[in-house]
Every structure is written in structure tokens, then in C-alpha cells.
Structure 1
Amino acid sequence: MRDIKSAQRILDELPKSDTYKCLQELSAWVESLVQAEGYRLPVRASILKLLDDQGYAIQRKLQQEYLAQNRQAKYREQALWRALVDYWRSLVNGYLYCLDAYAMGARGADALKPLLPLIAARALHAVAAMHKAMLLHYGPVDDSVWHSLSRVWLFIEGRRLETCKVSLYEHSQAPSALQSEFMKCLFLSSSSPDCLLPQQIDLVERLIDDVAEHFVLSHDPDSRSAFVYDLAVPRPPGRLVAGMAVTGRMRFIGPSMASVKLQELSRALDNPSAISAAGYSYIAPAASLRSVLQHLLFYWSMTPPERRWPRLPAFGRLTVLHGFSDVMRSILYSKLSVRPAVIDNRAMLERQKQDLDMFGFVTAETRQLLDGLSASESEQERRAESWLVQNVSLGGYGAILPTVRADWLQIGCLLATRGDDGDWQVGVVRRLQYDAERQTHVGIEILAARMMAVRVKLEGHAHERDNGEEYAILFAATLAGASTCSLLMRAGSFMAGRQYRLSELERQYLVEPIQRLEQGEDFEIVEFNVLCSLND
């Protein structure tokens, strides 16, 4: 690969039908280009740009595959992630080599000067893409990310290229200033990505792309500054704190009008045509987009987010079960004096009979419910995991998992947790991060201090099949005197505009759903109006 023509021949022979293998080969070619001797700097930079152009579409396909499969084989997930990180790391090293060679006056450096803004912009983009890939895997984010970002930015500032605008790739929507490219990486890091699902992190990146031109950067803190980034220290940006010592290598950034743009987008969510007219295009449900926008506005606020409750160090063991079926059983076992399988057998037999009468077979939905009732308490205990508690607050726990990574673990999954001497509690994973030793750190929000198991039945119409009662968890000690309530229910239970009969011990109530407060893979939390007591 001595020149552009030979590089193009190699690219033509890449196995484009296999994106994984293709990206691996591109990474290898970039690494060999960086290590090889004898290239004039303009030729080396041009070949690197050509390899980058070729890899752009390929890495996007591989990233989409990574994001699209929530339950892909662990080996495949790890292989895809590693291929993406290695590819972007090789490009970062390649572009840094070119910038360093230019700074040292390498052979042909003058001829590279017209390409400097593009080379520097692509270096920033490669660092940001490597950073994002690490976030999709929940870290740890290498110090090399911040070291490389600072090196590129100091090069840009030294040549006053901050406001130069370039089109990164052939299909880029609009030219972007180098200053905007620099801040994209900083704002993604400042958006608390360890609270987001991988698909949400990807959506955050696209939102940042759309509003990055409105971010502000300065060498001194002012009223618009929310975060500070130290170019001399390889660590992520942090919140600007009043009275902190300021050094010459610090850069101060703030969202400025970007927050206003996000607020406008949030207000326009109920009008898709207005979103399109404003130039935005997001392939995401409105509810998901609204949730991510609220998340960004919260973490980009000029007033730093505060914890509702103080976090205190604590040490102990936490028994953990996951998934709606095990969570439901754990609460039933602890709250009722009889086992749910005994209670439900008659109803389940009737449901099977109805399936056979109506369809001639037992439906998959009924079989799933039967499977959920089949596990005994001892089997459930064997599935439980033991986590080490790090800290505790009134709102939840911080915990460390065993070294082996749980494939089911993700942001938003439902848990039942129990301390050494306590009762079962219901929680949701809110934070997830891996450290340099590959230990898994989890933040768990406990959903309610008081709760009880109740039975819920949809009030059916004459022509509808009677699905019988299902168990749910009431986030309260009792419904007596309440006007509203919240229930943890199996996914798919929420039906707007319909009424439900709720049985709490010997009392029954008529309730009507108001809204779905939260939805997970196998559960939903629904707020209800309590219409009346049926015992009065």
C-alpha cells in the first residue's frame, strides 16, 4: 500500500459482505500504515482518509447490529464491541501521528496544511466515537480517550483552527466547527450515560450532533459555564464548582441555547410534522425521545442535580432476583401465608379450558403464566445472586456484582432485593458501570417503602374472554382512603380507558388507569384512579 491507487485496490478486495471481518481488516491496515516508514506525510494522511471513508459505512452497520440485539450471544456481543473499539482506536492513533508529524515539520508537512482542519476534525470524531463505544459497554473509559482528546485540542488551539468548519464525511448533513466536534465528546460524558440503555446513548449522541453548534466554550468560567475540562489531566469533564482553583489548561463549557433547542423539541413531540420541518429526524418512539430529552435537560441544568437522600457507606450482602415472575413470587412468598401456586391453580385450569374451547389449543400466553407458577421457593432461592452492598440511602443501594457479568443485567431491569435480615423489596437498576478490574457497579432504586400483593382483574365486556385475576404489587400499605394508587404489573396489562377490579385481602375496589409511569421488558408500573370501594 504505497500510494492511493494501491490502497484503493486493497479496499476493493475487502470482504464487504462480512462487516465484522471487513472492519477488522481495515483496523489492521490503519495500524500498518501508522507503523510503516518511508511515506511522505501528505500521502500517509490521504491513505488514512481513504481508509476512514471506506470504514465509515461499515462501522455504522456493525454498530447498528450491536444496538439492535438485546439478547445476542455474549461472544458475538463482545466481538462486535471489540471490533468497533479497535477500529476507532487505530484511527485515533493514525490521525494523532499525522498531527504530530506536521507539528514536528515532517517531510511534506507544508503540503498537508490545507487538509489540517479536516484531519483535526476527524481526529476529534474518532476520539468521540471510541469514547461512545466504551460507553455502550458501560466502561471503563480508558484514560487514552481524554489524553488523545486533549492532544488534538491543544494542536487545534495552537493553530487557531477552533472556528474552522468542515464536512466530516461525504454524506455529512452540514459543516461542523472544530469547537463543536470537541464539545460533542465532553457533553456525552457529562450526560450521565451510565443511567442510559445503549439505544438511549446512541439517541443522546444524535441529539448532541443536532445542537452542538449552540454549546459554548471559554478559557475562563462565566455565567454560561456548567462544566469544566482540564486538558492537563486525563479524566472526564466535571461540574463547575464555585470557588474551585482555575488553571490555564482548564476549559469551561455550557449548553447555552442547546438546552432551549431541546426544550423546543420536547414541546414539538406531539406534532411530528413540526419536528420534520425543524430538520430533526429520529427513529424512536415519542415516549423514548421525551424521556431522553428530560434526562439531558436534567443533567445539563445550570443547577447541579442533587441527590434526594444522602448516600452512606455500608457493607453487607444483598440477595437479588430479577424479572417480573421471580419478583412477583418473592413478594407473594413473603407477604401471603399461602403459596401463589396453590391460589392460582383453579384459575389456571379454568384458563386452559377456555383456551381449548375457543382456540382448540392452550395459547402461548397461558403457557407462559403456567411456567411462571411452576418454580418452587427453593428453586427461586437457587437462582438468586449475592451482591456486595457498597452504600445505602433511603432511595436504594449501590452494589458490586460478582466478577462474572450477568447477561440479563441492563438499565431499567426489575429486581427483588433482600438484605441479610430484611424483607424483600422491589427495585429497578438505574445505574450501571464497569471499572478497570471489570467489576460491575450497580445503582438500584427501591420503588416503594411499603407495598403489598393484590389481585387485579380487567372488567370485561360480554363478548370478551375472561382472563381471570393476576397478581400485582400495590405500592402502598393499603388502598383504604386513597384516591390514586400505583401498581407493578406484568407487561401488557395496561389498557387505557378500561376499568379494573382490584382485590386487597377481603376488600375490592374499582380502579381506572391514568397513565403508565414506567415500562420495562417484562413489567409496567401504572397509576390508577380509585373510583370506589365495591364492599360499601
Structure 2
Amino acid sequence: MFDFLPFGRNKTTDPLSSLKALTNWINNELPMGDMYTAHEKITQCIVELNNKTDPFSKDRLQMLMQLDEQGVELQESLCQQYLQNPRMSRVIESRLWNSIHAYYWETTRGYHAFIMDYVGNPSGSKIKSLLPKITARAINYFGMTFKWNYFRYEQLEPKMWKRLHNLYHFAEYEEFDHEPIKLYDVTGKSATCTDLYVQALMLNNLNTGSLFPKQIDMVSMWLEEWSSSMTLKKVYDPAQHVFCVDLSTDRGGKRIRKMQNNDMQRYWGTHDLVCRIERVKTKLLKGDAPARLGLGEACRLPGCLEFLDDLMRHWAPTVTRVNRLHARTTVVKMIEVVHEVEDIFGQVRVDNELALLSKKPTDTDIDKGALSYDEMVDVRLYGFVTKRTQAKLGAAGSPLDQQQVAHHERWVMENESEGGYGATLNVMGNDWIRLDKLVGLKPERSGQWQIGVVRRLSKPAAGQLYVGIEVLVKLPIVVTLHAKQLYSTGYAVDGVDAADMLLPIAGVYVPKDDENHFPNSLVVDPSEYAPDRVLELAAGKKRYMIRLTDVLEKGDDWLRVAFVIVVKAKTS
């Protein structure tokens, strides 16, 4: 990515030859009108400075600090550009991510090298007065590097944790761990090494593979304010402490379950933090704006309230372990996958049409997909078949003959439960996989397509991607929706009102889930939703007038919305 050759300069104009030369280069040659290029050149300078074999002098450290101070605002601008454009192309996303990650890592590596040089020869070093600031910056940038790894659900290298622990231990040893430090003049923010270290520990505690980058970034921002509610202690207090970290290991913090005291353990509690979140939530419910409470513009209600509840449950001093709804078993089984919404609906439609050709079922056949199309709709909506439906399709031909073959992928799933599946894939070729992505699933020896949603992602090893999928509905029904006006528009073509000339809308019916308190709902394109919109739902030869109500969940190209039946229309 970076051009590591000099920028067309000779040795006499090398900006890294002296602090004065670097200042001149920043003021006169750095292309500040081009944010990305300026950021790239600063990162390149930091890389070159890190690769120098010169002694770790005070002048060299000041050059690194000046480059960092010049680049920090550019870095923040690129971070915001990345987070505010979740639907950017993979090429742009990769370029931005790599640029941002490279800046954090190379700057961290530079500060860490100076600190380690001081540790090796403290009496011969002249940078002691700068140690608190560069240690705080290094701890902060380790945390930021971790955060951007979480954005891609990547595992952290164990040595990264070890280095971060050593930096915090060094701050303790030098007795500036609780000293407020102004990190950058341009931002004006101050923090202690302990605060920055706790922020990294608490954010890692949430790295479950089920959060979006914007959610991770939002929590990171909140922790900048909330981390002062937590203090690391060397002595364990069972009445206060909830989490611990061992500075001698290569892992992050964990909830205390079995106490094993040693001198390298540090402990902290979360009672004050949870109380603080509870106060914020109370103010939101009273009508205070999220931005006014320091939650940022990305905090949107009501979803933000649910997210705060999740944080409180995760960090609460006392936690009730939630058992899995369904036991997970290890299996090795092939599963067919389609991921375009049109292809998913197409496969489900074929299953539905095949059901039309099946014989009249008994009650025990309902769950086997043997109902006719009309009977399936009645059972799903009302819980029983209301009356004898019209004759089933006869000589219409096999729907398999009419099927348009969609692009299928074959995965080897490694575990399954009543509620979903898990599979480990190669990263290459699967860059379409994202959290909340809608997928069609057909396990081997299964006669029907199911609809699922990607709920969890992680990268357990280089080149691997673990995908956890929740099954949304095992026996989906494709329905056709028609926009309906409750009044005439006054415009007609050949006697047909313009309100009835809209194209039909495809959707999938999802029956109510009493266990999880989900009502009857539809999966549709997000552009088709409007609160209280009235539609005619057509399934087979049945017609229902329905009204859309609450959005239950949504992804990039789909939306699940609840509905109520206004009236059952006349059978066509």
C-alpha cells in the first residue's frame, strides 16, 4: 500500500534528517488539501523513522511525536469516513481500513520501541520527562489497534496483549499510572494510563463477534467517559471486584469466577459503571437527547436503549448465566446456501409450489410441509384451516421445471442446533458475509429451504471465518403484496385507478414466535416499508388486507416488519 521509497527527495532535503527539516516539510510540502495522501505520507514517514538504526535519541522521539500530532486529526477524519459509509465497496473499505490500522500500529510500534530502550538503559536515556505522555499514547493506540481488529472480527495476537500489559505495569512502576495526561494539544483531551488501559480491557470484554463496527466504536467513545468509574487494585475485594487481569499472561481481562491470587493480578469493579449507565438510560426515557448525554449522534432510539440494557447485563456485578435455548451438537454435514434476496425468495417459492401438488394432509403432516399452499397460510395465520380451499393445481407442470437455478454455495457445517448452524469457511471468496445478512439454507437430506440470518462472526485463524447463523423460519411462505389505497387518487387509466397500478411486492411470511415474543411478520425490501401502510397480501388464492406496524429487525437489503390483519378479503 505504502510507497516506501523517498518522495522524490535527495538526502539534503530528507524530512527525517532533523526536527527542523521535518517541521519545514510539514509546513511546506505535506499536501494537506488531499487528506488521504497527506495521511499516507505521514504514515510512510513513521514507518521510515521506525526502521532507522540510529540511536533512540530525544530528537528522534520528538520527530515521532510531531508526526503523530500532525496525523491525529487526519486519522480521526478517515475513521469517521469509514464508519459513516458502511455500504462502501470492498476495495474502498479495504484501503481505508488498512490505512487506519497501519497508522495506529506503526505509531504504537514507534512509542513502544522508545519505552523499551529506556527500560534497558534508564540512566543513559534523556527521554524520562516524556515517558508519561508517550506511554499514555502507546496504551491508547494499542487499544485503538485492537478495536480496528474487532471491526473485522479478527483474533488478537497473544504478544499484543503481553506488550500492552507490560506498558501498564511500567506506568505503575514509574508511578504515573494515575496521572492525568493531555494526549494531544489539538484534541484537548486528558486521560490517565489506567483509564486508557481499562478502556481496552472493557472493550475486549464485549468482543463477542455479534457487534457492528459502529456499535463497537460507540462503546469505545462511551468508555472514554465511563472508564473513570473503574479503578484497578492489587488486592482483591470480593464485595467490590467483578473482573480481573493477569499482567503476566497474553490474554485480556475476564470475569472473576475462581480466585487465584498472585502479585500480577489486577482487579476492578463495575457497580459505579452500571449505576452510571442506569442514570443515562433514565434520562433518555425522560426525553433527553442522546447527544446531550454524551452518547453521540450514532445513538438512535429506541435501539440505543436496548443496547444499553445489553451492556448493563454484560458488565453487571452479578450475572445470571443464560443457557442456550437449544443444545448445540457437533456434526459434519453439507448445507446449500444462497444469499441474494431474490434468489432466497425464488427457492422458497419453488418449495411452496411443490406443496401445492401434495396430497391432502393429516394434522400430523403440517410440520412436514404437506399442506396445500392455501391451507399453509390459514394454519400459519389462524392456527387452523378455516374452510375447504379450492382445488389444488393440476396440470400446471412441475415447478422444478420452471425453477431458475440460483447461484448456490456449499458449506460444511460443523455444529447445529434447533435454532441454527455454525460453519468455518475460507475468508477468500466470502467477502459478502456480514452480520445480519439474510441467507437461504438447505441442509442435506432436507426437502425444504429455510431462511436464516448471520448472527455471529469471528476469525479463529488466518484465512478462516467462523459464521453463526440463526434460523429465522424453517417453513417460509412466499407471499405477494399489493399496495392499496383506502381512497381513490382521482387519476385513472382505462378505468383503472392509478393507486392499483403499482408493481406487486414480494415478501416472505414469518409465523409468530411465542417463545421469543415475536408476532406474525413479513420479510420485505426496506424501501417498501412505511408505518401503518395498508397492503393486500396474496398467498395462493387467499387475499388478506393487512397493516404494517413495527419494524422488528433489519439488515442491509431486508427488513422484518410486524403486521395485523385488517380483514380477510374475498377468495379469488
Name the TM-score, length of structure 2 as normaliser.
Answer: 0.78
Q: What residue in structure 2 maps to residue 364 of structure 1?
A: none
Question: 2:548, 2:563 within 8 Å by CA — same for their partners in 1?
Answer: yes
**Secondary structure of the residue that 1:286 maps to in structure 2?**
coil
Q: What residue in structure 1 maps to residue 436 of structure 2?
A: 412
Question: 1:81, 1:137 within 8 Å by CA — same for their partners in 2?
Answer: no
Question: 1:328, 1:472 within 8 Å by CA — same for their partners in 2?
Answer: yes
Distance in 1 between the 2:86 and 2:349 partners? Answer: 29
**How far does residue 71 in structure 1 lie from its aligned partner after superposition?**
4.4
2:558 maps to a residue whose letter is: F
Q: What residue in structure 2 maps to residue 258 of structure 1?
A: 273
Give the gaps of 5 or more residues in structure 2: 1-15, 357-400, 490-497
Q: CA RMSD in A?
A: 3.1
Question: 1:216, 1:256 within 8 Å by CA — same for their partners in 2?
Answer: no
**Secondary structure of the residue that 1:521 maps to in structure 2?**
coil
**How far does residue 153 in structure 1 lie from its aligned partner after superposition?**
0.9
Q: Does 1:386 align with 2:403?
A: no
Deviations 1:92-112 (A, max 9, x none): 121112222222334663x53
**5 Å matches for 1:100-111?**
100-106=116-122, 109=125, 111=126
Question: 1:473, 1:487 within 8 Å by CA — same for their partners in 2?
Answer: yes
Q: What residue in structure 2 maps to residue 527 of structure 1?
A: 562
2:468 maps to a residue whose letter is: G
1:313 maps to a residue whose letter is: T
Question: 2:291, 2:297 within 8 Å by CA — same for their partners in 1?
Answer: no
Q: What residue in structure 2 maps to residue 316 of structure 1?
A: 333
Question: 1:138, 1:432 within 8 Å by CA — same for their partners in 2?
Answer: yes
Q: 1:379 and 1:317, CA in 2 relative to 1: closer, same or farther beyond 3 A?
A: same
Q: What residue in structure 1 maps to residue 254 of structure 2?
A: 238
**How far does residue 395 in structure 1 lie from its aligned partner after superposition?**
1.6
Q: Does 1:426 align with 2:426?
A: no
Q: 1:194 and 1:506, CA in 2 relative to 1: closer, same or farther beyond 3 A?
A: same
Distance in 1 between the 2:527 and 2:92 partners? Answer: 30
Q: What residue in structure 1 maps to residue 510 of structure 2?
A: 475
**How far does residue 152 in structure 1 lie from its aligned partner after superposition?**
0.6
Deviations 1:68-116 (A, max 9, x none): 444444344333222222222221121112222222334663x533332
1:502 maps to a residue whose letter is: L
Distance in 2 between the 1:75 and 1:486 partners? Answer: 36
**How far does residue 507 in structure 1 lie from its aligned partner after superposition?**
4.0
Q: What residue in structure 1 maps to residue 525 of structure 2?
A: 490
**5 Å matches for 1:84-483?**
84-106=100-122, 109=125, 111-172=126-187, 174-192=189-207, 194-219=209-234, 220=236, 222-241=238-257, 243-269=258-284, 274-287=289-302, 289-302=304-317, 303=319, 304-337=321-354, 377-380=403-406, 383-422=407-446, 423-461=448-486, 462-463=488-489, 465-466=499-500, 467=502, 469-476=504-511
**How far does residue 150 in structure 1 lie from its aligned partner after superposition?**
0.9
Q: 1:17 and 1:105, CA in 2 relative to 1: closer, same or farther beyond 3 A?
A: same
1:59 maps to a residue whose letter is: Q
Deviates more, 1:261-270 or 1:157-166: 261-270
Deviations 1:138-186 (A, max 9, x none): 2132223212211111101212222111122224354222211001111
Distance in 2 between the 1:507 and 1:398 partners? Answer: 37
Q: What residue in structure 2 maps to residue 347 of structure 1?
A: none
Q: What residue in structure 1 maps to residue 45 of structure 2?
A: 29
1:112 maps to a residue whose letter is: I
- Of residues 59, 64, 68, the one that matches 2:80 is 64
Distance in 1 between the 2:529 and 2:484 partners? Answer: 13
Deviates more, 1:455-464 or 1:320-329: 455-464
Q: 1:221 and 1:282, CA in 2 relative to 1: closer, same or farther beyond 3 A?
A: farther
**Secondary structure of the residue that 1:88 maps to in structure 2?**
helix
Name the TM-score, length of structure 1 as normaliser.
Answer: 0.83
Deviates more, 1:122-131 or 1:497-506: 497-506
2:102 maps to a residue whose letter is: D
**How far does residue 324 in structure 1 lie from its aligned partner after superposition?**
2.3
Distance in 1 between the 2:50 and 2:518 partners? Answer: 68
1:154 maps to a residue whose letter is: H
Question: 2:290, 2:299 within 8 Å by CA — same for their partners in 1?
Answer: no
Question: 2:531, 2:548 within 8 Å by CA — same for their partners in 1?
Answer: yes
Q: 1:534 and 1:223, CA in 2 relative to 1: closer, same or farther beyond 3 A?
A: farther
**How far does residue 230 in structure 1 lie from its aligned partner after superposition?**
2.6
**How far does residue 127 in structure 1 lie from its aligned partner after superposition?**
0.3
Distance in 1 between the 2:276 and 2:550 partners? Answer: 27
Q: 1:234 and 1:405, CA in 2 relative to 1: closer, same or farther beyond 3 A?
A: farther
Max radius of gyration: which structure?
2
Distance in 2 between the 1:82 and 1:520 partners? Answer: 25
Question: 1:309, 1:395 within 8 Å by CA — same for their partners in 2?
Answer: yes
Question: 1:26, 1:51 within 8 Å by CA — same for their partners in 2?
Answer: yes
**How far does residue 390 in structure 1 lie from its aligned partner after superposition?**
1.6
1:198 maps to a residue whose letter is: P
**Secondary structure of the residue that 2:426 maps to in structure 1?**
coil
Q: 1:203 and 1:37, CA in 2 relative to 1: closer, same or farther beyond 3 A?
A: same
Question: 2:484, 2:499 within 8 Å by CA — same for their partners in 1?
Answer: no
Distance in 2 between the 1:257 and 1:33 partners? Answer: 43
**How far does residue 458 in structure 1 lie from its aligned partner after superposition?**
3.8
Q: 1:388 and 1:265, CA in 2 relative to 1: closer, same or farther beyond 3 A?
A: farther
Give the gaps of 5 or more residues in structure 1: 340-374
Question: 1:139, 1:433 within 8 Å by CA — same for their partners in 2?
Answer: yes
